[in-house]
Structure 1
Amino acid sequence: MEVFDLLERVERRQALIIQQLIARQEQFDLPTLAAQLQLDRSTLRTDLTAIKQVFQQLDDKITLQFDSNQVRLVSTGQISVATIYYQYLQHAVKYQLLLYLLQHSGTSKTHLARHFALSVSTLNRRIHELNDLLTEYDIQIKNGRLVGFESQIRYFYLHLF
């Protein structure tokens, strides 16, 4: 399982944008970046705005500057790429769900849906996606709890953290 597997499609796309910006380490032409990522320019601008908000939570160690034609990362302190990705991971619903299941022995789907402000059907989709990922650890989410051998569950959480 990869960390990116726990991110939603939009979050993965934003991480890909960040990767492109870090790789170039210079000013990027917005139309060129949109073409490389096969994105509409308005989608790219929306993602850049969201990335800028994520960066604001990192104590201004990195900022994103962009206008209608150019985008640029500006590092104002020491920050690792892992720290940036962890910021995304912390807010990912699938990651939060796994943390919740670690801290609580079991709960109902209705309670989980309310806790994460999701519909039950969306929660079911996320659980299904997680169960696909958890197959390699021989564990699964069932009836609001992780099911499997305790050693496998511990190994999974060790791997996750």
Structure 2
Amino acid sequence: MRFEALLVKKEAKQIHLIKQLIIAGGKMNIRDVRELLGLSKKSTDHYIDELIEAFKHFGDRCQITYDGAEVTFAKAHDFSLEEAERSFYLSSSKYQILMYLLEEQEINPVRLTQELKISESSLSRKIKDLNKILNEFGLRIWQGKMIGEESRIRYFYFQLLWYLGQGYEQSSPREVHVIESLQRGLNLDFMSEAKKRILLWLRVTKKTNHSTCSSI
């Protein structure tokens, strides 16, 4: 799956800029940035301003500054590019639509457009884009629902959430009991990563158990 397809063009360009800033040693001339992005000065300034705003929640761990001539990127040793990329994916509208479907089973256009602050026509376009991604898994969104075999829906969400490091936070006592029972039943001692994978699969299975439809 090409996870970058979850991003809009602007977000993809911003991630590309961050990568190039790192390669360039943390500093780039604005002319080089404009050439890299293929944008006018006004649009480039707007992209950079939005990027600076998007990174504010990282605090001192990661900072982007722009003085009109140079763009500078500085980060703490414990800050990774993967963390920056993940923040873009988790805040993207397409990801939010997928998570809404996982939680609610069916899209309520009025409610979802209000939550995402987008128009219904924009929502329709994003769903159309998502269907191109979902086609790889034999799935599609149709009339507000995820259509496809239950096993395929589970596999898709598992892959998505595992890639983004989501969905296997602290286990509940019941979940711990289930995993321990599996270990005893199989006479195995699961490694930490295996336990996370099992936990994520259990949670995805629980959420998709009553939310699927047959293919049409």
**Given the two structures, how large is their TM-score scaled by the length of structure 2?**
0.70
- The aligned counterpart of 2:52 is 52
Q: Read off the aligned partner of 2:58 and give its amino acid letter.
A: L
Query: 8 Å contact 1:7–1:89 — kept in the other structure?
Result: yes
1:66 aligns with 2:66: yes
- The aligned counterpart of 1:117 is 117
Question: Which deviations, in whole Å up to 9, do the C-alpha atoms of 1:54-92 show, x marking residues without a partner?
Answer: 211113211012111111111134111111011111111
Q: Read off the aligned partner of 1:8 and give its amino acid letter.
A: V
Partner of 2:63, secondary structure, is: strand
- Per the alignment, do residues 101 and 45 of structure 1 end up closer, same or farther by CA in structure 2, a change over 3 Å counting? same
Query: 8 Å contact 1:6–1:95 — kept in the other structure?
Result: yes
CA distance in 2, matches of 1:129, 1:147: 15
- The aligned counterpart of 1:18 is 18
- Per the alignment, do residues 61 and 77 of structure 1 end up closer, same or farther by CA in structure 2, a change over 3 Å counting? farther
Partner of 2:146, secondary structure, is: strand
- The aligned counterpart of 1:138 is 138
Task: State how many pairs are aligned.
Answer: 161
CA distance in 2, matches of 1:104, 1:46: 35
CA distance in 2, matches of 1:145, 1:32: 44
Q: Read off the aligned partner of 2:130 and give its amino acid letter.
A: L
Unaligned stretches of 5+ residues in structure 2: 162-216
CA distance in 1, matches of 2:106, 2:17: 37
Query: 8 Å contact 2:30–2:70 — kept in the other structure?
Result: yes
Deviation at 1:121, TM superposition (A): 1.4
Q: Read off the aligned partner of 1:112 and give its amino acid letter.
A: L
CA distance in 2, matches of 1:27, 1:124: 39
Q: Read off the aligned partner of 1:66 and give its amino acid letter.
A: Y
State the structure with more CA Rg: 2
Map 1:80-91; keep pairs closer than 5 Å. 80-91=80-91
Query: 8 Å contact 1:106–1:144 — kept in the other structure?
Result: yes
Query: 8 Å contact 2:100–2:107 — kept in the other structure?
Result: no
Query: 8 Å contact 2:34–2:41 — kept in the other structure?
Result: yes
CA distance in 2, matches of 1:116, 1:38: 28
- The aligned counterpart of 1:156 is 156
Deviation at 1:145, TM superposition (A): 1.6
Deviation at 1:157, TM superposition (A): 0.4
- The aligned counterpart of 1:105 is 105
- The aligned counterpart of 2:195 is none
Sequence identity (%): 27
- Per the alignment, do residues 25 and 119 of structure 1 end up closer, same or farther by CA in structure 2, a change over 3 Å counting? same
- Per the alignment, do residues 80 and 26 of structure 1 end up closer, same or farther by CA in structure 2, a change over 3 Å counting? closer
CA distance in 2, matches of 1:36, 1:119: 31
